[in-house]
Structure 1
Amino acid sequence: MLPGGLIPSVSWRVLIVESDLSDAETLAGALRRHSHEVDIVATGSGALRAYPDADLVLLDLELPDLDGLEVCRAIRAAGEVPVIAVTARGSELDCVLGLQAGADDYLPKPYGFRELMARMEAVMRRARPAHPPVNVIISGPLRIDAGTRQVSLRGRHIETTRKEFDMLHLLASHPETVIPRKRLMQQVWGDSWSRRTVDTHVSTLRNKIGADWIITVRGVGFRFGPEPQAGTAPE
C-alpha cells in the first residue's frame, strides 16, 4: 500500500492544465510521489500542444485564453486521451456540459486527493482494459511475431534490426492510434535518441516492407497504416 492507504497503480504521464501555478505544483508533487510523470501547462493552447504526449489530462475549465469546454472537445475530437475535468464549476449543468464536451469524468473543486486518484484509476481502467499480451499481430499479408521477433510479408521473412522491430510492433499494436514522435522515441530508444534517428529507422523500415505501412502524421508522429493496395509493397 502507498501512504494514505492508496493502492499502487501503474505509472502514467499526467498533463495538468491549470492556470493557478501554485495549485498545479501542489497537485503535481502529490502525483509524482505516487510514481506518475507530470507535465504542467497554464493555458488551453498549451494543452492542445501537449496532450498527445499524455496518458491522462486533468483539465481545469477556467483558462485564461480558451474556453475549457472547447479545449475538451478538441482533445476528444482528435483522439482517445482520457480527460478528467477538475474545476470550480460545480453545478449540475456544468457537470452535464463537461461530460457532453467529452470529459471522461468531472470533479468539482475542492476535492480530496484520494478521490481524485480513485477517479483516475477508474478512468484509466476503462481507457485501457486489461488484455493478455498479443504475441502475433497479423494485418493482411504482414505478420509480426513478438515471441520470435520475426516479421514476414506475404510469407517472406523480413530482416529487421532490434529497434526497427520494436518500432513496428509498437505501431502495429495500436493500429487506430497516432503514436506521438516523443513517445515513440522514449519507448523504443529510451534516453538515447534523436529526431534524425527515428526518421532514419522509419525510412529503412519502409524500404523493407513498403511505405504505406507506416503513415506520417505531420507535426504529431506516426501510425500503422492499412494494408497497402496490391503492388505498392516491395517484392
Structure 2
Amino acid sequence: MTDFLSPQEWTAVALSLRVAVWATIVSLPLGVIVALVLARCDFWGKEVVNGLVLLPLIMPPVVTGYLLLVLFGRRGPIGGFLYETFGITFAFSWTGAVLATAVMGFPLMVRAIRLAIEAVDPKLEEAAGTLGASRVATFFIITFPMILPGIIAGAILCFAKAMGEFGATITFVSAIPGETETIPSAIYALLQVPGGEPKALRLVIISILVAMGAVLASEIVARRVARRIAGR
C-alpha cells in the first residue's frame, strides 16, 4: 500500500477512514433515538422534524457546509461558545470534518433504521409491556435484536457517505493537507494540477475498494445477525 500511494495520498486515505469511523460512531446513538421517535411516536410537528432530518440530502452540500461554518465557526453562536468555554474548535480541523460528514450521513442512517423499526410488529412490543417490561427493557429485549440488521445497514451507509463527502467538508474545513484533506478533496486537488490524473486515479481505486468492502461487510454481518435472530 505504501508503495502504491505517496505519503501525502496515504495520509488522505488514513484521514478519510478516521473521519468516517468517528462520524459513524458519533451519529449512531442519536440516529437510533431519532429513528425510534419518528417510527413509534406521534406528535405535533413530526413531519417538520422528519424534514429537518432529511434536509442535508435535499440541500446542496455546499449550503450545508456554509451553515455549519456560520453556526460552528469560532464567531458562530455554537462554535464561539464551545471555543471560549471548552477550547473546542470545529472549523478548519479534522473534528469539523467529522461533524460535516456526520451531518451528511445522518439522514441515510436514520432512514435505514426507521424502516427496520417500522417492520417490527408493534404487537410484540405491546405484549412485552403487558408482561411488565418497561419501554427501555422492551426496546433492548424485543426491538433491538430485530432491528440490528437495519442498524448495521444504517451505520454502513453513514460510513460510506462520510468517505465520499466533499461539498460540505471542503466548505466547512477546507482541504488542509494532513489535517482536513480527505480522499475526495485530495482527488479534486490532484485534478487541478498538470499530471495529477494518475495519482487521482489511484485514490479513486482506493475509494471504490473501501466502499465495496464496506457494503460487502455490511451484507455479511446483517445476514448472520438475521440468521441468528431467526434461529431463536
Measured against the shorter chain, the TM-score band is under 0.3
Compute the TM-score of the two structures, normalised by the length of structure 2.
0.27
Determine which structure has greater relative contact order: mean sequence separation of CA pairs < 8 Å that are 6+ residues apart, divided by chain length.
2
Q: Which structure features the higher share of strand residues?
A: 1
Q: Which has the higher helix share?
A: 2
